[in-house]
Amino acid sequence: MSEPPVAPSALLAGRTVLVTGATGVGVGAGVVAAVAALGARLVLNGLGDAELEPVLARWPDAIGVVGDVSDPAAVERMLDSAQERAGVPLDGLVNNAGVGLTRRAHEADAGDFDRVHDVDVRGVWAVSRGFARRLIAAGGRGAIVNVSSVHARATEDRYAIYASAKAAVEGLTRGMAVELGPHAIRVNAIAPGYVHSEQGLELLAAVTADAAAWARRTVERDQALPEPIGALDCGWAAGFLLSDLAHGVSGQSLAIDAGMTAQLTRRDAPV
Ligand SMILES: NC(=O)c1ccc[n+]([C@@H]2O[C@H](COP(=O)([O-])OP(=O)(O)OC[C@H]3O[C@@H](n4cnc5c(N)ncnc54)[C@H](O)[C@@H]3O)[C@@H](O)[C@H]2O)c1
C-alpha cells in the first residue's frame, strides 16, 4: 500500500530539501511527492531543462536546478545556485539520481563500470560533500538520505557492478554518518527492492521478454509480502529519515523491499 494511512503531517515544514534525479518515473517521483506532502520546500535536480520542465509544472513552488551529479564542478555550481535561490542553506538531501546496468561483470567494459560508479557513487559523494560543507558553514543541522538498493546486500545474475556501486553507497552512508554526526548532520539510506510503476514496466522490456510476468513473479515469489512496492513507499521512508522523528537514527540503511532480503528461500522453492 502506498497511500498513507493517515493524512500526512507538516513533518518537514520549514525544511528545504534537494532531491537529485528528480525527473524519473520511479523512486525519485515518490520521494518528491512524499517530501512535498510532508511540507518541505523542494529543490529538484535534473540533467537538463527539458527533463525538469514537466516536473516543475507538477510542482510549481519547487526550485529547479540542472546538473550532472557525477561532475563535481557542476555539482558545486548547482548547490550555489540552489542556496542562492532558496535564500537559506539546504538542510535536507535525497541522493536519488542513479543509473543501472544489467551486464555481467566479466562481460562488461570499463565504460559500463565507470558510468555506474560515476553516477551512483561519485555522484552521492560529490553532492553530499557540497551539501555538508555549506550546511556546516551556516551552522545548521540536517539530514541526508541516500538511495541504495537491495543489491547492496545480496544480488543476482547481471547485477554485480550495480551491486558493487550500491554497496559503496552504504559504506559512504555509514562513513559520512560518523564524520558528519559531530556537525548534527544525520546520514541514512533507503534500500528499495523492485519498485513497481507502469512506466517502469515499459523500461523493463529492455531486460526481459515479458515484463509483466517478471514483475508478478518478483512480487509473488521473491517478496515476503506479496504486494507491489510503490514509489511512495520509498518516499515516506525517506521523509521519515529526513525528519526529526528519526533524530536518533544515523548510519543505517532501511530496506523497502516487502521482506525480500529477509527470505532465505523463495516462496515457491521446492521442498
Ligand atoms: N526502480 C527501482 O525498482 C529501484 C530499486 C532500487 C533502487 N533504485 C534506485 O532508485 C534511484 C532512482 O531510480 P529509478 O529506478 O527510480 O529510475 P529513474 O530512471 O526513474 O530515475 C533516475 C533519475 O536519475 C537521473 N539521473 C541519471 N543520471 C544522472 C546524473 N548523472 N545526474 C543527475 N541525474 C541523473 C535520471 O535523469 C532520472 O531522473 C536510483 O538510485 C536507483 O538505483 C531503484
Q: Would you kindly state where each structural domain of the chain is located, as residue ranges?
A: 16-195+231-256, 199-229
pLDDT digits (tens, 9 = 90+) for 251-263: 999 999 999 999 9
- The rounded distance, in Å, linking the Cα atoms of 98 and 21 is 7
pLDDT band for position 6 (50/70/90)? low
Q: Which of 163-167, 204-208, 218-222 has the lowest mean pLDDT?
A: 204-208
pLDDT digits (tens, 9 = 90+) for 63-102: 999 999 999 999 999 999 999 999 999 999 999 999 999 9
Question: Is there a contact between 66 and 45 (Cβ–Cβ < 8 Å)?
Answer: yes
C-alpha 268 – ligand 1 centre gap (Å): 31
Q: Which cell goes with 1?
A: 500500500
Mean pLDDT, the chain, as a whole number? 94
Q: Which residues lie below 8 Å from residue 153, measured CB to CB, with a gap of 6+?
A: 191, 255, 261
Q: Is the pLDDT of residue 270 over 60?
A: no
Among 3.40.50.720, 3.10.310.30, 3.30.420.40, 3.90.1750.10, what is the CATH number of 16-195+231-256?
3.40.50.720
pLDDT given at position 8? 72
Active site residues: 162
Decide whether any atom of ligand 1 lies within 6 Å of the 218 Cβ.
Answer: no
C-alpha 60 – ligand 1 centre gap (Å): 22
Q: Which cell goes with 186?
A: 544525520
pTM: 0.96
Short-list 101, 193, 188, 117, CA closest to 150: 193
Q: Which cell goes with 36?
A: 512535498
Q: Residue 145: which H helix or E strand, with range?
A: strand 142-147
Q: Which residues of 219-236 are buried (b: 16+ CB within 10 A; e: fewer)?
A: beebbeeeebbbbbbbbb
Q: Is 225 helix (H, G, I), strand (E, B) or coil?
A: coil
pLDDT digits (tens, 9 = 90+) for 163-202: 999 999 999 999 999 999 999 999 999 999 999 888 778 7
